[in-house]
Amino acid sequence: MGLLTILKKMKQKEREMRLLMLGLDNAGKTTILKKFNGEDVSTISPTLGFNIKTLEHKGFKLNIWDVGGQKSLRSYWRNYFESTDGLVWVVDSADRLRLEDCRKELSALLLEERLAGATLLVFANKQDLPGALSKEAIREALVLDEIKSHHWCIIGCSAVSGENLLAGVDWLLDDIAARIFTAD
């Protein structure tokens, strides 16, 4: 193998990113993933286990892991932490009754050593619902302003209309790329 090929291979590897999507059950993780990939979202079932999707975006190869959020699955989340570049935390903005649960789960994640280097994107999903809280209200409820350990951003979106999904992913990629690929 010539030097050039090896360099190319390394380069390819470098342009790969691992994204982990987590959040309470019913938040819309799988719907976001499928919508982003242009698939039908009407047949999605609650996730028993996880989905993984590999797709190309902006010249990057994204490995996106979408893990089920049911209570009984949350203890398995940690199996997916290793070498995560970006954490996507999905919130059902209309589910006011579980916002506190949502805050607790997120703050526990942010203490995880293996996620320490990851950039955090919070999707305030389901903005199409009349009862949805604004992204500012979600930001307050999840006390995001207290986060000092991670780069973070919150974006209001709707997985069913597709609104703002791209904006969110683009921000995430830019932040990760700036952190990783220009480091040297």
Ligand X SMILES: Nc1nc2c(ncn2[C@@H]2O[C@H](COP(=O)(O)OP(=O)(O)OP(=O)(O)O)[C@@H](O)[C@H]2O)c(=O)[nH]1
Residues serving a catalytic function are 70
125 assigned ligand-binding residue:
yes
Toward another protein, which CB reaches closer, 94 or 180? 94
48 makes contact, choosing from another protein, ligand X, Mg ion, none, with CB < 5 to 8 Å by partner type, with another protein
Instruction: Report what 95 binds from another protein, ligand X, Mg ion, none; CB cut-off 5-8 Å by kind.
Output: another protein
How many residues in the shown chain lie near another protein by CB under 8 A? 22
- Candidates 57, 60, 94, 147; binder of another protein (CB under 8 A) is 94
Q: Which is nearer to another protein, 8 or 46 (CB)?
A: 46
Least separation in angstroms between CB 160 and another protein: 7
Nearer to ligand X, 62 or 177 (CB): 62
Query: Is residue 184 part of an annotated ligand binding site?
Result: no
Using an 8 Å Cβ cutoff, are 54 and 87 in contact? no
**Residue of the chain from 147, 153, 160, 180 that contacts another protein (CB under 8 A):** 160
How would you write the chain as a 3-class SS string? CCHHHHHHHHHHHHCEEEEEEECCCCCCHHHHHHHHCCCCCCCCCCCCCEEEEEEEECCEEEEEEEECCCHHHHHHHHHHCCCCCEEEEEEECCCHHHHHHHHHHHHHHHCCHHHCCCEEEEEEECCCCCCCCCHHHHHHHCCHHHCCCCCEEEEECCCCCCCCHHHHHHHHHHHHHHHHCCCC
Residue 23 marked ligand-binding? yes
Note whether 89 and 120 are within 8 A (CB). yes
Nearer to another protein, 38 or 131 (CB): 131
- Site for Mg ion contains 30 (CB under 5 A): yes
Binding residue positions? 23-30, 47, 69, 125-128
